[in-house]
Structure 1
Amino acid sequence: MAEFYCSKLLGKFEQCLHAVTTKDSKLTYHGSLALHTGEAANEIISNRLEMAQRLGADIDAHFIVANQTHSDNITVIESRESKGWHTIEDAIENCDALITDQKGVVLTILTADCVPVLLFDSKKEIVAAVHAGWKGTKADITGKTVGKMIEVFGSDPEDIIAFIAPSIGRCCYEVGEDVAQHFMDTEAFDKVGEKYMLDLPLINQKQLLDAGLIAEHIEMSGQCTSCEVEKYFSYRKEQGCSGRFMSMIALTF
């Protein structure tokens, strides 16, 4: 049984390390990797160290964890040091997208339904990790992250490979009109009575295309965290779970 879920597209590039943890990863303490949800900190740290060892990134790597706030704030990581890995106190504050050109720096996203997006500029060798809930998606955080890669590093969008990792799907993501109204100009929802079934992965895919990525360079996992709750944490399906799985990307070191 596979310990991590990976992208076929990103997997073609040996200079890019990436992974998505699952409940199948069989980490000692129930598989969660989040320090902010009230679980015992020592157990989460143990899970993180165990996961890093299995990933082969336990010795020389530096892990970056952000205090995700459903914003469109983007942080460029310019040095090789860990943040938010051993303690929540030094996590990157108020941030939902991370970018770096530093080798051996693992950018992480914690989710339990929201959309994780992993980006890799195969020519400039830049990586990014994006957390896109509906608020971040409304603010186009994914497209803005591509824009920041262009602005800071001179990336060409056509060189960027994207992986939209497991998240809640259109099949399960029921929202009210208060949320759906922000996406009425898309075809990414179905109206069911007074409710709407919203497709956040599809909207993020469109934002990547609008940012200049090539369609063939965008991989959709097609996995719904709610449908596959035995494999992924799902806040909705589990009615407020404290667990979070982690999506990661780094330049190999």
Structure 2
Amino acid sequence: MDVERVQVDGVALVASHDQGVRFGFTERTGGVSGAPFASLNLGSHVGDDIACVEENRRRALAALGCAGALERLLVPNQVHGDHVAVVRSACADELERVRSQIGEGADAIVCTTSGVPAMLCFADCVPVVLTAPQGFAVVHSGWKGTYARIAAKAARVLMAETGCVPEDIRVYIGPHIQGDEYEVSEDLIEKFDAEFGWENAGKTRLLSLSRAIQQALVEAGVPRSQIEDLHLSTVRENDRFFSYRAENGKTGRHAALAYMVEQLQEIHRLRPVVDPLGA
């Protein structure tokens, strides 16, 4: 599973092409937003100028290779729940139906059609991208969604929609607050201990959301060998990614972005920047 840091016209993202799906985790550079949203803020709900957000989204799509798809872009109203929306066609009626649904709240999108990009936004919560031979899913997994096993739920929906089996699914976990940085209340760590069968009670208040996400996916049948955590920290690498905690709640949002290319479309490899992944 080849994932590289790439840069296109100043927009940096950690990206790959897998099973007919192009996806990327954007960084914070290459956009037009000013402080404290500088500069590639993709979130429309944080107080940034909407015109800047629109331009940033256009640039992010272009960097991923789907310039011109802005009018088909799906960005849900994220509510820290476990609702998984499904888009099966690029036709106007279907996109209108999905937009109406995700406007009421959704934290994951499963897509089984080409040419429709999906974007979810983050600033410490866990972005998860799942690919399959005939579709993909993009998931927002904060502690509530992680506890509700939203990534595993999205995997099951993806299997149901595409007819694939768990062994067909590949999973990529993007930049987020890491387990050694995320201290939570005693009540919350005990809640996770009970749900996931951990034995941390009384020993630590540090919560690894990635650990819980991976466990839920494995329990859903996805092979652990096909789950890749990129181990990118939004806190320690705050110069690359937005962090709600590190920036005291006033910050922008990076994104997980994916779309399925048409079967006959020629795939052009995104060019990597000189520095390696994580540098």
TM-score normalised by L of structure 1: 0.87
CA contact (8 A) 1:191 1:197 kept: no
What is the match of residue 60 of structure 2?
51
State the distance in 2 between where 1:50 and 1:41 align: 14
What is the match of residue 109 of structure 1?
120
1:74 to 72, 84, 105: 84
Q: What is the identity, as a one-letter code, of the residue corresponding to 1:65?
A: V
Residues 113 and 201 of structure 1: is their aligned pair in 2 closer, same or farther, counting only changes over 3 Å?
same
State the distance in 2 between where 1:60 and 1:47 align: 13
State the distance in 2 between where 1:31 and 1:56 align: 17
What is the match of residue 6 of structure 1?
14
What is the match of residue 28 of structure 1?
32
State the distance in 1 between where 2:240 and 2:120 align: 17
State the distance in 2 between where 1:192 and 1:230 align: 34
Question: Residue 60 of structure 1: CA displacement?
Answer: 4.4
Residues 187 and 221 of structure 1: is their aligned pair in 2 closer, same or farther, counting only changes over 3 Å?
farther
CA contact (8 A) 1:116 1:131 kept: yes
Question: Residue 53 of structure 1: CA displacement?
Answer: 2.1
CA contact (8 A) 2:14 2:26 kept: no
Question: Residue 90 of structure 1: CA displacement?
Answer: 8.7
Question: Residue 191 of structure 1: CA displacement?
Answer: 7.2
1:41 aligned to 2:50?
yes
State the distance in 2 between where 1:45 and 1:100 align: 22
42-51 vs 53-62, which moves further: 53-62
1:65 aligned to 2:71?
no
Residues 47 and 60 of structure 1: is their aligned pair in 2 closer, same or farther, counting only changes over 3 Å?
closer
Question: Residue 231 of structure 1: CA displacement?
Answer: 0.6
* Per-residue deviation, residues 138-187 of structure 1 (Å, max 9, x unmatched): 11111111111223332201100100111100121110012212211448
State the distance in 1 between where 2:206 and 2:199 align: 5
Give the alignment of 1:89-238 within 5 angstroms: 92-122=103-133, 125-185=134-194, 186=196, 196-238=205-247
State the distance in 1 between where 2:107 and 2:131 align: 17
1:19 to 8, 14, 24: 24
TM-score normalised by L of structure 2: 0.79
Paired residue secondary structure (2:44): coil
State the distance in 2 between where 1:218 and 1:134 align: 19
State the distance in 1 between where 2:18 and 2:108 align: 23
State the distance in 1 between where 2:181 and 2:171 align: 23
Question: Residue 109 of structure 1: CA displacement?
Answer: 1.2
Question: Residue 68 of structure 1: CA displacement?
Answer: 0.4
Structure 1: any 5+ residue segments left out of the alignment?
none
Residues 109 and 159 of structure 1: is their aligned pair in 2 closer, same or farther, counting only changes over 3 Å?
same
Q: What is the identity, as a one-letter code, of the residue corresponding to 1:68?
A: Q
State the distance in 2 between where 1:115 and 1:245 align: 11
Question: What is the alpha-carbon root mean square deviation over aligned residues?
Answer: 2.4
Paired residue secondary structure (2:154): helix
CA contact (8 A) 1:189 1:199 kept: no
* Per-residue deviation, residues 100-139 of structure 1 (Å, max 9, x unmatched): 11101111110000011100113xx111011000001111
219-228 vs 151-160, which moves further: 151-160
CA contact (8 A) 2:69 2:117 kept: no
Residues 4 and 187 of structure 1: is their aligned pair in 2 closer, same or farther, counting only changes over 3 Å?
farther
Q: What is the identity, as a one-letter code, of the residue corresponding to 1:21?
A: T
1:246 aligned to 2:249?
no
* Per-residue deviation, residues 34-55 of structure 1 (Å, max 9, x unmatched): 1111111111111111222222
State the distance in 1 between where 2:111 and 2:53 align: 25
Structure 2: any 5+ residue segments left out of the alignment?
1-5, 34-38, 263-279
Question: Residue 91 of structure 1: CA displacement?
Answer: 5.3
State the distance in 2 between where 1:91 and 1:147 align: 19
